[in-house]
Structure 1
Amino acid sequence: MATLADTLLKDLEDLEEENFNNNNDGIKKIKFEEQYEEDDYEEIVDAIEEFLNDKKKKCERKISELLYDEDFLKTMNHIKNYIIEEEAEKLKNEEGTKDTEDGDENEDNIKRKKAKYNSDDENPLNDNNPNDEEVLIEKCIELIIKIDTEILNIHKYLKDIYSTKFPELDSIVYTPLEYISVVSRIKNESDIKNIDFSDILPNTTVMAIVVASSMTTGIKLPDHLLKSCMSFCNEALELNENRQNILIYLENKMFLLAPNLTMLLGSALTARLISCVGSLKNLSVTSSQNLIVVGNSKKSILGLSNVNKTFGVGILSTSEIVQSVPDAYKKKAINLLAGKCSLASRIDYFKKYKEGQYGLLLREYVINHLIKLQEPPPMKQKKILPIPDEKKGRKRGGKRYRKLKEKTEITELRKQINRLPFGPNTNEDFYTFTDQNTALLNSNITKLKYQTKQKTNIPKKKNASAQSSGATGGLSSSLIFTPLHGIELFNPSINKTTSETRENKYFSSLSQFRKV
């Protein structure tokens, strides 16, 4: 039998359950109404705020997709293993046949490094097959281009974020890797004087960065943006390290891909040249004029003169052949080397002269040609005068020679000056230190000029006609002006007759003896 107390407890429990259920129903109704209201009046969230909130949740964001690609990681592991093996061989060659404890320790370290990079997957190629190596070389060249694009993307994104902290840095440091490495060292610090940039930048750019940082209008970055910037910098530097490893691998394997070009330029320069162009096919297609500018990089000079800086010069200017030549011949050396490089790349593309003998001939030709260019011109030999003839040469005479002689003939005035009269002394000229005759200084020189002989050249025909003709001239007349009679007619023949009669007297040549 249930007591009264038990029945009361049961009633109380039932009341509590009913109240609890009613409360739950009310809460559900309120939540439903709130959701309905939210659906009607939902606010549009800004995309930038969402992006920044996601960044806050993720402290470190990854921007490079290439670093997490499986194929890329496999190839990089293989390349790193190859580099480790090459280092081991170099150590063995340096040590020789000596077996020491240090050598064993070095071998153990190399094995550890190799085990670190080895994965469970097999190597991407078989070392015994040369075709697979050529495929990997071409793949490495493609990877270098991809790495360059990734670094450029990181550089652009980093500039957008870090411009709030240091907006002037973009105008001072131009190259992407230098900018990224500078940002990784500055971080969020305001005083840059104590930071060392000597291994990255020249002294002029370091001074410019220090001055700009003291006058900057930037603001410190928040923690989440700074962490993302540092993660981007680390990714870019890691990509650059992988790029350097790929170039080392290509230097060692470049003889398989382009033997003649490696014999001409060297493995390191050939790897850089092919990686800049993209492939051996692209290199064979490009002209020699375009090869001169491949790998051209213009850097900021920051207030220095541009006179001694050679812009527009690419990878070929860093070769040993061009560097060994003086500055005056460097332009010719680059042009000559570019022509031979384009020829060697075409030979390598068509798989001819696989041992590289033609590239060696081209190298010898370029070196010999540059040596000949630097040789001084031959000295002018002194010509010995011929022995004069014993016979005296005939002197020129005639009308033409006489006229030439008259042009250079001494004048009458000069003859008078050259005469040394007896008695008066000569004066010494102060400037020329020569004796000069002063006899004609006081004399009238103009009279001497008019006293000179005036030679008139009369033609022979005119002279003969003038002598033979007895006719009077056109100006002669028979009129005479006299003081007594004025104008009178005058007969000149009468004067002749009178003069003849006067002469025809006793002592005349025409007079004869008279008969008595």
Structure 2
Amino acid sequence: MASYADELLADLGSDSEGSGRESPEPVGDNGANAQAPVADAGEGKGEDMEVDGAESQKLMNVPEGGTRPAEEMDQQEVDRMNLKDVHSVRSVAKLLQGSKLQETLRAIDVYINQPGPSAEGANQAMAASSEDSDEYRLIVKSNNLAVDIDNEVLIVHKYIRDHYAPRFPELESLIPNPWDFVRAVQALGNDESLTKASLEQILPHGTVVVISMTASTTQGKPLSTQEWRRVEEATESVFELEAARRKILSYVESRMTLIAPNLSAVVGTRVATKLLGVAGGLTGLSKIPACNVHLLGASKKAATGFSTAFHNRPVGFIFQAPLIQEVGEEYHRQAQRIVSAKAMLAARVDMNGSDKYGTYGARIRKELEKRLEKLQEPPPVKMTKALPIPKEGGKKQQRGGRRARKLKEINGTTDLKKQQNRMEFGKAEDEAGIFDETVGLGMMSAGQTGRVRAKVANKAHAAKMSKSNKDRLAALKGRSAASALDAGGESSGTASSLSFTPVQGIELVDPSRQRRVDEANAKWFKEGTFSLAPGARGNIIPGSSTSGSAVPSAPGSMGPPSLPPTKRPRVE
């Protein structure tokens, strides 16, 4: 592959009409030749410059039958160029002197001034055979040429920056836009006082104020006459390139509204032209799935080492659509998918020719604008709910039942705890302490008997026995058991067969002892004891006597007292 110096000399030799004057070469920072774009590709006999086919296929996705678009230069690549030693702008800006730009501009003038059929007839004719027509090729070529002009402006802008830096070195950082920078340089000129220049018609007021303040303190020196002429020549070249660019874009826009009106309404005329050129026309573009449209024109350059030139994801021509560029950077991928799908629908409508005036595309664009605007809306603010109005009566009562009663019994306050929480008026409570902790006993120690307290069951929750079961139990165990059950007598679980007496101390309980006591009491205190004495004579009440005599009783025995005389029974 030929070096850049050989290509540059060959191009200059073919355009200088026999002039053998050699032009200086741009020199990079490392002493090597700086890489400048070859914007004159295709001039001469209309053949493209020799490019390594295998390498070019790696850098761009071009379907079969498509036209390879011009490659856009990266700003960082241009900034690495060193053009201080280049004495003429024509050495780096050769597009104006080349035949490619001039021939394209003349062809555009011919098609613009050529009388032809109406817009509707032209639309039908170009939609039928757009890929084979000469004007379609001119549209694609003109769109690629607009990219070459942008690359040329970047290089000339770098040339002006390097040569005007001795006069105003701070201007480069104050005005980053190439077109505004060139116009500001032309307005400032090479006068000794830079503050007299009028920049109000070129730049915003805030930028003008900053430039005026910086110009009053700059350390720059006026340029020599020869150096200023080089800067003026470069600025004039930028103005000529800008005029050619506007003419080309105006022509492409007017023709794309006839070839693909709906697609142009969605993505813009420039992006639509690039898509048609790289896809091989409307027919080829309509066959591409929407999920692959973003690959058209995507560069496959990979970053190596610590390079920062290609830090972003590879993006295609659809990424340059105004709808995508207007949204935030974090929404670019979503917007690209949304716009790609609608753009393919518009391209297929143009291919079918069902809408020749772009009505469908305009409607889709409005829908996309609303959808992308909705996409960028911030999430709704989380509403803070007010607390509900508290109900009167405090906490809601829980539903009753066996389970609720059990929970209350488990967590409820015991009688012993209630006694501990009470205090007797005028009396000090007892305390129980261990180590450094002391707990008050309240009234828990009042009325202590020394007996173990039996657990008192709640009769309301006790199981109840039916009357038939009570009778049956009474028949089995006797009436004593039935009466004991009716009385609700309960025995403690701590009862034993031992008893404590003051005479013997611990004694075994005799089960028959209580029975004998009950039998003796039953005989003595039974009904009629005070009326009739067993074994007495007649109906004399025991202890009574007739004629003032008492009934004799056994010595040492206790009996009932004698009745008074008035109550004695009469003896017949």
Normalised by the size of structure 1, how large is the TM-score?
Answer: 0.49
